[in-house]
Amino acid sequence: MPYFTDADARSIVRTTYEAAAPVGIDVAHVLYGPDELAGVPEDALRWAFGVGNPVRHAGPGPGEVVLDVGCGAGIDAFIAARRVVPDGRVIGIDMTPAMLDRARHHAAAMKIVNVEWREAFMEALPLPDGSVDVVVCNGVLNLSTRKSRALAEMRRVLRPGGRLALADLVLTESLPEEIRRDATALAA
């Protein structure tokens, strides 16, 4: 029996990320290389909440369409956008309007024009079947109470042979029940 309903989980995650107030840029410098961060405003680096570097593993190239599931303030989308020019594009999807606003602000500052931002849930991606070449997802799948549904959606929107690169947190042994029932832990 899950400790949180879908609605509860979404509300907790949205509230947590809306209220986040970054103070440092440690996470970005741990996860990404200097070449990837070049030209990314420091303010955007402070909003890097991922746990890996899926764009590096996916290796998108010119002309490809990339979907960033749970794009947050956009750092992975920005890195992908520069790799798919001149005619490729990136779609960044997030369920938190405040994070999408931050992404749009940073994209404008970087003069990145080949990314579109959409508000949506990862379990119901607003894209046609087989419409993207690459899906990246960084530290987001663990926020879903319906992970298989979210993965099925990522598969549905990928063309046959398309690539998924996922960075996430996994348990090798259970955490104490007090942690599993905690709303803040859910947002991790």
**Residues of the shown chain interacting with another protein in the complex, contacts defined by CB under 8 A:** 16-17, 20-24, 26-27, 30, 49, 51-54, 57-58, 147-148, 151-152, 154-155, 158-172, 175-176, 178-179, 182, 184-185, 187-188
Q: Which two tokens stand for residue 125?
A: 């991606």
For residue 105, the minimal CB distance to another protein (Å) is 18
Choice between 31 and 107, CB closer to another protein = 31
For residue 143, the minimal CB distance to another protein (Å) is 11
Nearest to 43 by CA among 26, 65, 22: 22
The b/e string for 114-125 (b: 16+ C-beta within 10 A; e otherwise) is bbebeeebbbeb
For residue 124, the minimal CB distance to another protein (Å) is 15
Q: How far apart are CA 87 and CA 1, in angstroms?
A: 47
For residue 96, the minimal CB distance to another protein (Å) is 12
Choice between 26 and 119, CB closer to another protein = 26
Q: How far apart are CA 150 and CA 152, in angstroms?
A: 5
Q: Which two tokens stand for residue 104?
A: 């749009």
> What burial class does residue 113 get, using C-beta atoms within 10 Å of its C-beta: 0-12 exposed, 13-18 middle, 19+ buried?
exposed
Choice between 38 and 174, CB closer to another protein = 174
Choice between 35 and 178, CB closer to another protein = 178
Choice between 112 and 127, CB closer to another protein = 127
User: 173, 142 in Cβ contact below 8 A?
Assistant: no
For residue 170, the minimal CB distance to another protein (Å) is 5
Helices 97-110 and 75-83, axial angle in degrees (round to 10): 40
